[in-house]
Amino acid sequence: MLHWYPVYGHPNGAGPDPWYAITAGFAYCTRTHPDGSSPLAHFRVTDDAAYPTKHHPAGESTVPWFVIKGSVIYPADGHPNGGAFVPWYQAR
């Protein structure tokens, strides 16, 4: 299982605790996520992107919100805040 940790590019800043746990191609909020844990996946994760699921508070989207490049995760152009050239999360 991988976890996504917020890093320096995230609007809320970097943090020592993971916000998402990645299991079987889905991202679940952890207890340290600002909204608390969720038993329902907020993102569907592919090799290179993450898409909001119907369980995400903003609803499902066929447009990726995040682009995955190796172990770093960047907001994609489809993210409500727009894309960025600095990562928001690191997977480890």
Q: Distance between CA 20 and CA 41 in Å, rounded?
A: 9
**Residue 21's pLDDT band (cuts 50, 70, 90):** very high
Give the residue from 47, 38, 45, 44 showing the smallest Cα distance to 60.
44
Rounded to an integer, the average pLDDT of 59-72 is: 97
Contacts of 49 (CB under 8 A, 6+ apart): 64, 66, 67, 68, 76
CB atoms within 10 A of CB 77: 11
- Where exactly are the structural domains of the chain? 1-92
The full length of the chain comes to 92
Query: What pLDDT is attached to residue 5?
Result: 98
The share of the chain scoring above pLDDT 90, in percent, equals 98
1: pLDDT strictly greater than 80 = no
Partner residues linked to 52 by β-bridges: 43
